Amino acid sequence: MSSMDSSYAGAVALTSARAGFWRRFAAAFIDGILLGIVSFILQSILGNTGSGLTLLIGIAYYTYFHGSTGQTPGDAALSIRVVDKDGGGSIGYGRAFVRWLVSIVSGLVFLLGYLWMLWDGEKQTWHDKAANDVVVPTS
């Protein structure tokens, strides 16, 4: 089964419903707390060496969760999921990595890439557009 296949068990029927800004913000906040705890522990144990490891863990965290289930723990807590814009299925690991990479750019430009969803018709951020995904409510 390819990552573009929307017939897998976790596929979401695409409707016009998109997750709103505050719901996405709260999910990102939860993920930030979880990764912050991991970072604190690693840097307490390893010192500055923990910074590089923390970055790798963050990349793996977002790539794994968005690429497989479409939900990080924060997303799951807020009942939202990242899905393929055209089919509603998983975006796969490659697109999830691109999404993470472009999310850094989204934040570097005065958070404009994140705020873009406020006036975009599909409520997409720059990283959503780069990975051709949308964030939808699951309930």
| pTM (global) more than 0.75 | yes
Name beta bridge partners: 84: 133
Q: What is the pLDDT of residues 51-85, one digit of tens each?
A: 899 999 999 999 999 999 999 999 999 999 999 99
User: Could you read off the pLDDT of 119-128 as tens digits, one per residue?
Assistant: 999 999 999 9
Instruction: Specify the residue for token string 């705020």.
Output: 115
Higher pLDDT, 4 or 23: 23
Average model confidence (pLDDT) across the chain? 91
Q: Is the pLDDT of residue 4 over 80?
A: no
Element (H, E) at 84: strand 80-84
